[in-house]
Structure 1
Amino acid sequence: MPIITAIISYFIYILPWQNWGWPLKPWRRVSLIIPIITVVLTNLKLDLAPPWYWYASILITAGFYIAISQVNQQIRLTYISLGLINYAFVIWLNNLGGSIQTLIYVTPIGLSLLYVAKVDPMLKLPQNRNIRHNLRLFGSGIICFVALLENQWTGLLPGIISIIAIFAGLGLQTRAFLYVGTVTLIVNVFNQLIVLNSIYSFFKWIIGLIVGVAFIWIAASFETRREQINNLLQNWIEELEEWE
């Protein structure tokens, strides 16, 4: 059973094998492999929906790798925990039945990518800044993109997610969150305007009037404050380059 295996593997990992004349690395490698093998073999034997204790065993096994990562300062071992938790979550969703939005499946994957971008030792290096940024873009982007696709008519959920991303970007000074949140919000607003226009035909006249007035105001403001706006944009771009 994975619970017992995880407990035994933990003690195998922390035992002082070197003091007893045994090499340390082989025993530690065995202790790291056994829990995963046990989970795989246990899953192969499942014919029906897993019982509650199967999920508990997955969580305990994930906790084992988290504990080992803390003991040995190997943060990448927590990636195994992420994989196990995501796997158990997908199995649980599949056994719920009914219609489940793709966003619920995608969100843990996106959050896992954001976690990797945050904690991975290699990605923390200055020369890997662009890789870290792109990983954040992809992780947050798939969540926002799927939310947009699945909520085209209401727009409420992608609107909330985009605002959260924008505030996260501003609060954490992270460009990826700000970019993705802003693009998602703009696309969502335009999409809702199209939806309203398709429902209420007179709405296109209101939209046209508002857009026309907005363009006139922007053009007039830009002409009178061109230098000030250019300086503001330049300073803003330079500040963004210093963000994560």
Structure 2
Amino acid sequence: MVDIHPTAIVDTKADIAGDASVGPYCIVGPDCKLGAGVKLHAHVVVDGRTTIGAGTEIFPFASIGTKPQDLKFHGEESELIIGENNRIREHVTMNPGTQGGGMVTKVGDNGLFMVGAHVAHDCIIGNNVILANNATLAGHVIVEDFVIIGGLSAVHQFVRIGAHAMIGGMSGVENDVIPFGSVMGERAQLSGLNIVGMKRRGVSKDEIHALRNAYRALFSSEGTLGERVESVSVDYKDSPAVQGVVDFIRSETSRGLTQPGSKGND
């Protein structure tokens, strides 16, 4: 049987797995789905067309699936889909999509969203992502797998953050960040590669070496960026990691590319 505290308000139309848990003073709306083992601590609000995957745990005062903070939203039946085994801490907010952004916000599996983090409408979040305290994503942001976003950082709308990137605390990210990139600053600049993260995740020494050399080539002062990308694509055709960076840069985007600062290194 579902474990629902007597003080919780759960709509009879909500779809709740048998071993889910809904704590004191929580509110769950009619179009919400809670998967197996989902746990809502006290005072959690889950609303809208929201699906929460198995094993996800949500802590007090989180607001999940309420209307997006977008003046263009007019009540369309958009969705918020949250994957499995996420930890969503106190005061986190996650909003559904909008008609102007594909109608869905998606969060992958095994994420950690610390106190006060915000995931806005139409964001697409990968697996094993960490948003530290009060990190905020504007609308339409794409965050790929294994990204870490430091506390008090803000990401501009439509920005893409590549897999395994590291965003330093209190950074303002206005442009796309390459996979494996490390950025920081009030107006974030590339400070090199996330070498520590790569080592922790078992990236081989050969791949790290290739990425170092490719990074230097991509952000050198010779030729245009397009020419440098083409050269790196040929020179490192046998490196999946480098090819992933090349594909990321070549992908269509409405933002620029975060560049190294004057003191950038790898």
**TM-score relative to the length of structure 1:** 0.27
Structure (1 or 2) with the greater helix fraction: 1
Q: Which has the larger radius of gyration?
A: 1
- Which of structures 1 and 2 has the larger relative contact order (alpha carbons within 8 angstroms, sep 6+)? 1
Length-normalised TM-score, structure 2: 0.26
